[in-house]
Amino acid sequence: MDVKIGTRKSPLAQIQTDNVIARLQNLFPEHRFLKVLLTTTGDKDQTTALSQMAGQGVFVKTIQQKLLTGEIDLAVHSAKDLPSTEPEGLTLAAFPERAPAGDALILRNEFTTLTDLPEGAVIGTGSLRRQFQLLSLRPDFMIKSLRGNIDTRLKKLAQKEYDGIMMAQAALLRHPKALGDFKLHQVSLALDEFLPAVGQGVIAVEAVKNSPAAKIAAAIDDKNVRSAITCERAFLSVFGVGCNVPLAAHAKVIGEKIELSTMLGSKTGASYSLVQVGANPVILGQNSARALQKLANWPLE
């Protein structure tokens, strides 16, 4: 049986898909797993800020449509790109791993830390969340929009279009040679100051519900990662806003419980944070979102 696995053309997306294929091929040597490269709306438009586009889903909707039409059997996504609800007929069949969920600040060699950057330094990011968290610590910084794949972003930094750029630690871990190619280094940022986006660091494998491919993918599902990401996605679903407000959540499984840390930022610069613990990931995520909304007097002005 040939299993066609769709993904974006970016180097990181292909690395993640190759990782999934290697795991599945090891477990199911009788099948052949084929990578299918696809172009999404977010890939076609490399200039518009994500917050001004259609929000979450711009990197996955095209691929999901290919699943629904049967052109591919599985899809591999970065979980943070997924909307909080699944299209009818599809299922998230596996969450095989979570790399470190935090953010990193990427710098040229003349700078060493966040505090080392000069007043008025230009920092690149396309994320409202990262922009909000960064300016909360360094309001003197100038934020400049940043789009493109990993190599494109790092090249712009190396060419001094920016003094620093922000990226997910997971992206750099999965594409390790990129930093060395451009003679740059990363500074890992503390989770308590830079709480990540929902799903950051998680790979998601999507399939048609109850399909043979969905059952194959389920073999590489990690139950603790699934509990954590289910909790975070339940939190996001209450807001239903994706990239449109500074919003962050990170869940971790501790024994039989889940600890969920959340953050909501306002246009005025006010920040609201909560940490709650529960056993049911969906209930914990939804209750945390409603508690945070109450704390912030949602909807924000």
**Alpha helices per DSSP H over the chain:** 11-27, 41-44, 61-68, 128-137, 150-158, 169-174, 177-182, 212-217, 223-239, 281-296
The active-site residue out of 2, 18, 45, 81 is 81
| Residue linked to tokens 């000069």 | 118
| Residue linked to tokens 């990239």 | 243
**β-strand 164-168 against 2-8: which pairing, if any?**
unpaired
81 is catalytic: yes
d(CA 62, CA 40): 5
> Nearest to residue 32, comparing CAs of 93, 86, 89, 74?
74
Is the bond preceding 100 in cis, omega lying within 30 degrees of 0?
no
- Contacts by residues 119-125 (CB-CB < 8 Å, ≥ 24 positions apart): 121/163, 121/164, 122/161, 122/162, 122/163, 122/164, 123/162, 123/163, 123/164, 123/165, 123/166, 124/153, 124/156, 124/157, 124/161, 124/162, 124/164, 124/165, 124/166, 125/165, 125/166
Burial 239-256 (b: 16+ CB within 10 A, else e): beebbebbbbbbbbbeee
Any idea which residues carry the catalytic annotation?
81
